[in-house]
Amino acid sequence: MIIDGHNDLVLHRWRGEPTLHMDLDAAREVGFAGGWFALYVPSPHTPDPPEIPYKVPLPEPIAHEDAAAIAEELFATLCELPVERATSADDFREGTVTAIVHMEGAEPIAPDLSNLEQWYDRGLRSIGLVWSRANAFAEGVPFRFPSSPDTGPGLTDAGRELVRACNRLGILVDLSHLNEAGFWDVAELSDKPLVATHSNAHALSPSSRNLTDAQLDAIRDSGGVVGVNFAVGFLREDGSNEPSTPITEIVRHVDYLSQRMGVDHVAFGSDFDGALISAELGGAAGLPKLVDALRDAGYDGEAVAKITHENWLRVLRATWR
């Protein structure tokens, strides 16, 4: 069984575009049991990163009212997919694709949190406080290489209240895309395991989107998990978007995180349909190639099971009500 920390299939379906990586029938056939399906309200005119080094400005904020309307359409699109929706870790099973309803960027949540419980009742079980732009709750990291993730201020008062409310309701708080100051604010506030659903090791690829050793240590100490992002620009030491990047670059980050944090704190966080992925991997149907690469690198059956699904299930059981 394989559970994955992030995909953007819903955005492509909402736009009427073909999927890049998420052929659900083919994925199901190779043991893909689902994971985080993002409701992401896109920023207009987001530029592609230029040549290395790059420093892309933060996109402009999106008004809550506008984001809420688009999120309704995204949720309706998710509901049309041939997937189950998870409200318990026990909902994941072989032969079925199960989606965690995940909000990537909390703009659809009212700053006073007045609609948060309504979203919870509809199945929302994970929130990334930000995508890489500021909102009422926090500020994300701009896309920069090379760069520290320490790029701006921490959580707002509304952001602190959102973290507390998520803890109370049993909604996972995703730290991917959040800047370092915001990360440490969540670490101080939250009584749940810290989770970055799709991020990598800054020591191996110095992108603003990746996590420092101190952040990795905090996630480990909380009992949390990092989902390794398959985006080649966040894997490679040189930060380039090179589709010929081999699967072994993913294994390199798995190795580093496992050595730094322990194998209990590492999982997959592909970013399928949201990033440039290794042509060798191809997409969700190619996940067995990655599993084979982990075995070739010396990971035994117990370790592979933890990385492919058990670590995610443990964190969900510790977080969800």
DSSP 107-147: TTS-TT-TTHHHHHHTTEEEEES-SSS--SS--B---EES-
Quote the tokens at residue 158.
Answer: 């509304």
Over residues 106-113, the mean pLDDT reads: 98
pLDDT > 70: percent of the chain: 98
Distance of alpha carbon 105 from alpha carbon 120, whole angstroms: 15
pLDDT of the residue at 49: 66
Closest of 308, 255, 253, 225 to residue 30, by C-alpha: 308
Strand partners, 4: 35, 268
Specify the number of domains making up the chain: 1
Distance of alpha carbon 267 from alpha carbon 59, whole angstroms: 29
Say yes or no to pLDDT of 251 above 80: yes
Say yes or no to pLDDT of 58 above 90: no
Range of the domain at 162: 2-319
Give the model confidence (pLDDT) of 142-151 as tens digits. 999 999 999 9
- Cite the beta strand spans of the chain per DSSP E: 2-7, 32-39, 54-55, 84-85, 98-104, 124-128, 144-145, 172-174, 195-196, 225-228, 266-268
CATH number at residue 127: 3.20.20.140
Over residues 88-94, the mean pLDDT reads: 97
Say yes or no to pLDDT of 237 above 90: yes
Kindly compute the dihedral angle of the four CA atoms of residues 100, 106, 108, 109, in this order, to the nearest 10 degrees. Answer: 100
Whole-structure pTM over 0.95, yes or no? yes
**What type of residue is 316?**
L
As a whole number, the mean pLDDT across the chain is: 97
Quote the tokens at residue 168.
Answer: 């109370």
Say yes or no to pLDDT of 299 above 90: yes
Distance of alpha carbon 102 from alpha carbon 250, whole angstroms: 24
